[in-house]
Structure 1
Amino acid sequence: MFRKPRVNTNNLTSEWQFEGVCPLIQSSSMLPPVKKDRVITQLPTCFSPNAALHTKDGFHPQVKAACEVQKKDRVSLNIAKVIVVGDVAVGKTCLISRFRKGAFDKNYKATIGVDFEMERFEVLGVPFNLQLWDTAGQERFKCIASTYYRGAQAIIVVFDMSSVSSLVHARKWLEDAMRENDPSSVLLFLVGTKKDLSSPDQLVQVEQEAMRLSEEIKAEYWAVSAKSGDGVQDFFFRVASLTFEANVLSEIEKSGSRQAGDIIRLTDRREADNTATKRSSDCCR
């Protein structure tokens, strides 16, 4: 049984197709202003300098320069696809819901296949969107969920800090997701949830193991609690900022001698790659 992904784009005008093709925003003039609590003016700090993608204090100078030019035009948008993977019941849906709604949802329903949400930001004065693909953790839905892995700019691997086995399984989830993506162009995040449920001793032990794994797989580590909200907004702001920076730097590298104002534009850089390979109808039975 398959449920079509839920799309909540906060009144965005979008076009998307069933087979895993990402939505494309057609015109910034049709969009309402970005909410004040989604405006990013500085690079958010990492959770731990010992387990970060980088520890610099601010955005790359070339990114800042490109944004200064683009702020005058405000014509186009940047989009990044983010997939969220991990064992069933580790808190993937609650994590996303807590950030989007600012409250803990006790009555959430388990994800069937994949759900989709769009979160709008303004980074250094430039509109930016995160496509958050919340995938099911049940084994029987892996085939469905994996069709949406391709074309990710960031992968969030979630584990339950009160469940050591979910951390052990994190490596396999990452391996599955990376089969559909280029390792050199994807940012990785290892996120421990349910921080509030762990005892101090357990928290220290699990966190040590998680940081060792994050170093091994070259992922940035975070520990959060969807119930209390601890670290959730900081984490997603960090994801948005780093994916935005990576997208702009990639465009700068490809642009050659083009002007900075041409660098930030509406783009789904790997639209062709985002089209999922069709699976046989009985692959997930």
Structure 2
Amino acid sequence: MDHPSDRADGAGARLSRQLLVIVDPVARRADGESVRIAKDVLCAGATAKICLPEGPTEFAKALARRGARRPVVIGDDRALLRAVSLLHRERELSGAVLSMVPVGGAVSLAHSLGIPAGTVAAARAALDGTERRLDLLVDDSDGVVLGNLRIPPVAETAGETPGERDAARPWLRTCRSLVRTLDPRPSRGAPADAGVPARLRIEADGVTLVDLDQPLTGVSVGPATGTGLARVEVRHASADGRAAPVCTQARTVTVSGADFRYRADTVTIGGPVRRRTWTVRVGAWGLALP
């Protein structure tokens, strides 16, 4: 039996040629030429209404007023995630088929979902592609994850470890070293060791994989293609860094313990929270792909 993620509803059915093309403002600023090419291809192959929202509020209004038009987003990963999130919160995601033309700097999520990298190829897929039903991770605050979820150590903020910050800014490492030399006492209100592992409880379908007494260096959750489940990987802290990760698959994943942040789809940062549950929704949304 086919998994819903691997087939289109009404296989071979032609997608609507009535389009609502929403051009994200970030895309217009980042690469106006690619936006122009995408609009030309879409308008040449379908009846398209072009919307140029100036921000998230206008973006939401344009999507809500789409009527019978099929939405096409020209933008980056954040714009795609915004469109899916809005449709999910309006409980209209199951009846919509989204298309996307990736334009901008952060488009790795779009490519991982199968959307072509080239502007013309992506626009043609939006016109002539086939609907694919994809799984979705939904959390208990109604947030959505299209691809992967990563939980770094507690001390990380904005999805960036202290080591990553220092590598990008060598002067910061030098300043920190100087401060430690002058005053070795830890800063008040901050952990003495900013790189300490997290202590979290990880549960998969109600079964505890790791408890609070086992320090972790990271947790990742992503789609297990074709199964309707999420792939869960938990990495333990160890002196030599060689501890084998704990891996499993589950329909629901719950993380609890000390305050933690998480990065979803490489573009959004959630938290801090003390407990969050993610549940797989099988075939929850449709995307036009080649």
TM-score, normalized by the shorter chain, greater than 0.5 = no
Relative to the length of structure 2, the TM-score reads 0.24
**TM-score normalised according to structure 1 size:** 0.24
Return the structure number with greater strand share. Answer: 2
Bigger helix share? 1
- Could you say which structure has the greater relative contact order, defined with CA pairs below 8 angstroms and 6 or more residues apart? 1
- Greater CA radius of gyration, 1 or 2? 2
